[in-house]
Structure 1
Amino acid sequence: MIETVVFDVGETITRDDRYWAAWADWLEIPRHTLSALVGAVVARGQDNAEALRLARPGIDVAAEYHAREAAGRGERLDESDLYEDVRPALTELRGMGVRVVIAGNQTTIAGDLLRGLSLPADLIATSGEWGVAKPQPAFFERVLEVAQAAPARTLYVGDHPANDVFPAKAAGLRTAHLRRGPWGHLWADTPEVVASADWQVDSLTQLVEVVEDARRSSGS
Structure 2
Amino acid sequence: MLEAVLLDVDFTLFRPGPELGPEGYERIGARHGLALDGARYEAARLAALADLQRHPELEHDQELWVRFTEDIVIGMGGDPVLSRSCAVDLVRAWERHENFSLYEDALPALEALRAHGLRIGLVSNGQRDLEEFARHHALDVDVCVGSMSHGHVKPHRSIFEAALVALDAAPARAAMIGDSYADDIEGARALGMRAILLDRDGLYPEEPERIDTLLALPAALGLTAAAGPAQVQRAAKPPSM
TM-score by length of 1: 0.76
Q: CA deviation at 1:134?
A: 1.0
Contact 2:26/2:37 (<8 A) preserved: yes
Q: 1:171 and 2:173 equivalent?
A: no
Question: Structure 1 residues 151, 90: CA separation in 2 closer, same or farther (over 3 Å shift)?
Answer: same
Q: Percent identity between the aligned chains?
A: 26
Q: Report matched runs for 1:1-220 at 5 Å.
A: 1-18=1-18, 19-21=20-22, 22-28=24-30, 29-41=36-48, 44=50, 46=52, 50=68, 52-56=70-74, 57=80, 60=84, 64-65=87-88, 69=92, 75-78=95-98, 81-180=101-200, 185-186=202-203, 188-190=204-206, 194=207, 199-212=209-222, 220=231
Q: CA deviation at 1:147?
A: 3.1
Contact 1:34/1:52 (<8 A) preserved: no
Question: Structure 1 residues 67, 52: CA separation in 2 closer, same or farther (over 3 Å shift)?
Answer: closer
In 1, the alpha carbon distance for the partners of 2:46 and 2:191 equals 29
Relative to its length, the structure with more helix (as a share) is: 1
Q: Which moved more, 1:168-177 or 1:26-35?
A: 26-35
Output the amino acid matched with 1:147.
L
Q: CA deviation at 1:124?
A: 2.6
Question: Structure 1 residues 53, 68: CA separation in 2 closer, same or farther (over 3 Å shift)?
Answer: closer
TM-score by length of 2: 0.70
Gaps of 5+ in 2: 31-35, 54-64, 75-79, 232-241
Contact 1:65/1:74 (<8 A) preserved: no
Q: CA deviation at 1:133?
A: 1.0
Deviations 1:179-216 (A, max 9, x none): 126xxx43x135xxx2xx6x211111211112335998
In 2, the alpha carbon distance for the partners of 1:55 and 1:64 equals 7
Q: Number of aligned pairs?
A: 203
Output the amino acid matched with 1:27.
G
CA RMSD of aligned residues (A): 3.2
Structure 1: 4+ residue segments shifted above 6 A: none
Gaps of 5+ in 1: none
Residue 59 of structure 2 is matched in structure 1 by none
Please tell me whether Structure 1 or Structure 2 has the larger radius of gyration of its CA atoms: 2
